[in-house]
Amino acid sequence: MKRLLALLATSVLAATALVAGSTASASALPVPEDDPFYAVPANIASYADGAVIASRRITAIAYLLPIPADAWQILYKTNDSHGVPTATVTTLMVPRTAWKGAGTRPLVSYQTAEDGVAGKCAPSYGLRGGLIGTRNASDAESGLMLSALSNGWAVAAPDYEGPDSQFLAGKMEGQAILDGLRAALAFSPAGLSPSTKLGIWGYSGGAFATSIASQLQASYAPELNVSGVALGGVVAEIRKTIDDFSGSAVGGAIAMGVNGPMKAFPEYNLGQYLSASGRAKVAAASGDCIADAVARYPFLSIKQIEAFPGALDVPVVANLLHANSPLGIPGTPTAPVYDYHATFDELAPVGPDRELMHRYCDSGQVVEHVEHLLAEHISETVSGAPGALTFFSQRFAGQAPKNTCATIPAP
């Protein structure tokens, strides 16, 4: 386990630095907006949720090297936050070695922090092009997917923001994850089945989407055999997280992030709550991944973009942000939860996470909540991963989960 922790620490942190600091020229690999494979068919409404529309075999890349697994990109049908049919892509990877455990090979849906508002930020793009080819932040987490694959599990990495990169559109993201699992199970070359044991896992923005998927599963995809849910550094409440970003070295993420709800919910005319300077900054970041926006506007604060003091707390805006947060979306997971968080996380406050876990516990679900005192947001990606991998190994083996609901601190 110590070797795994050291490997993950080196790979994740090095990859993050490479992505943030890269000045490499754009790859010849077309971005999703220019790749016909990603196109939503005109008859999309005729497909069932999770139906496979198209597929292609690819070579998936972790950092700089090919991943030793059979890999495909799968275009499948899902729905946006308004219930409008659309399509997105998942990258499905299956180890080439035979599964030695009981039953069929398990499948883990790993949600990277798809923090961006353009197709170049999608995990499918990053996994196909690698670090040098794409400057995609999702690559920083490909080591975690490699770890899951090394356990013999199949791994799916969905583009859960959809074709329009609707960052922070909670319902869209959760549904896209669940429909991605449906598509992976239905994709015959992968050799999976409806009874396949499933895990869903994500960190930070990926945990935001994962938690929402787990809360929607009972009503949206009750047939899925979810065995466990792992959440790391979860962003449980958007508004409180914005406060942590505001004025910090990564404040530029706010200008990028506003574009997500603006695209997903045009009926709210969110631009009216931005100053002229704010609208210009948001527009400039409308094609950014988080690393681009952070470099563009370091130390950006809410005050620098809002139309008037407290604009984000106007009821219509506050309600929209809450309604797209895990704490604002109804439902609780149907499977045991492993939740890990840095106690002093500077970007995803631990208080809302504790509140969310108390809600899960109150519903009767088993939760193992782990906090790390000496970690912060980036290092917790690594600190919490071994526990998540152990959690899934136990779930897939049918072992009883650990319940720490009685000791979770108050929010």
Sign of the alpha-carbon dihedral angle for 28, 66, 213, 10: negative
- Bridge partners (DSSP) listed for residue 110: 201
Whether the per-residue pLDDT at 239 is higher than 70: the answer is yes
Over residues 308-326, the pLDDT tens digits come to 999 989 999 999 999 999 9
Whether the per-residue pLDDT at 3 is higher than 90: the answer is no
Is residue 372 within 8 Å of residue 345, measured between CB atoms? no
Q: What integer pLDDT is reported at residue 6 of this predicted model?
A: 40
- Is 238-323 CATH 1.10.260.130? yes
Whether the per-residue pLDDT at 36 is higher than 60: the answer is yes
Rounded to 5°, the CA angle 125-233-223 comes to 70
Segments in 68-191 forming alpha helices (H): 123-134, 142-150, 170-186
SS3 state of residue 268: helix
d(CA 102, CA 378): 35
Q: What integer pLDDT is reported at residue 4 of this predicted model?
A: 43
Phi, psi of 283 (to 5 degrees): -65, -40
Q: What integer pLDDT is reported at residue 133 of this predicted model?
A: 59
- C-alpha distances in angstroms, 161 versus 65, 117, 154? 26, 8, 22
Whether the per-residue pLDDT at 15 is higher than 50: the answer is no
Model confidence at 135, pLDDT cuts 50, 70, 90, reads low
Closest among 135, 131, 158 to 289, alpha carbons compared: 135
Model confidence at 11, pLDDT cuts 50, 70, 90, reads very low
Which H or E element spans position 392?
A: helix 385-396
- Bridge partners (DSSP) listed for residue 154: 107
Mean pLDDT, rounded, for 124-137:
79
Model confidence at 87, pLDDT cuts 50, 70, 90, reads very high
Phi, psi of 151 (to 5 degrees): -85, 0
Whether the per-residue pLDDT at 201 is higher than 70: the answer is yes
Model confidence at 129, pLDDT cuts 50, 70, 90, reads confident
Whether the per-residue pLDDT at 299 is higher than 80: the answer is yes
- 2-237+335-407 in CATH: which number? 3.40.50.1820
d(CA 343, CA 103): 38
- Catalytically annotated residues: 204, 345, 377
d(CA 299, CA 301): 6
Over residues 321-372, the pLDDT tens digits come to 999 999 999 999 999 999 999 999 999 999 999 999 999 999 999 999 999 9
Q: What integer pLDDT is reported at residue 134 of this predicted model?
A: 60
Alpha-carbon Rg for the chain, nearest whole angstrom, is 20
d(CA 254, CA 299): 10
Q: Six-digit token pair at 43?
A: 């008859």
Over residues 160-182, the pLDDT tens digits come to 999 999 999 999 999 999 999 99
Q: What integer pLDDT is reported at residue 13 of this predicted model?
A: 40
Q: What integer pLDDT is reported at residue 132 of this predicted model?
A: 66
* Amino acid letter, 195: S
d(CA 161, CA 159): 6
Q: What integer pLDDT is reported at residue 18 of this predicted model?
A: 40
Q: Six-digit token pair at 216?
A: 């929607």
Mean pLDDT, rounded, for 210-224:
98
Sign of the alpha-carbon dihedral angle for 387, 151, 138, 356: negative
CA atoms within 13 A on the CB side of 202: 31
Mean pLDDT, rounded, for 111-127:
95
CA atoms within 13 A on the CB side of 88: 35
* Amino acid letter, 18: L
Whether the per-residue pLDDT at 20 is higher than 90: the answer is no
Sign of the alpha-carbon dihedral angle for 230, 324, 264, 308: negative
Q: What is the pTM (predicted TM-score) of this model?
A: 0.93
Mean pLDDT, rounded, for 2-27:
41
- Bridge partners (DSSP) listed for residue 156: 92, 109
Phi, psi of 315 (to 5 degrees): -50, -45
Between 17-26, 79-88, 236-245, 249-258, the lowest mean confidence (pLDDT) is in 17-26
Q: Six-digit token pair at 333?
A: 């997971």
Average pLDDT, rounded, for the chain: 92
What does the domain layout of the chain look like in residue ranges?
Answer: 2-237+335-407, 238-323
Whether the per-residue pLDDT at 138 is higher than 80: the answer is no
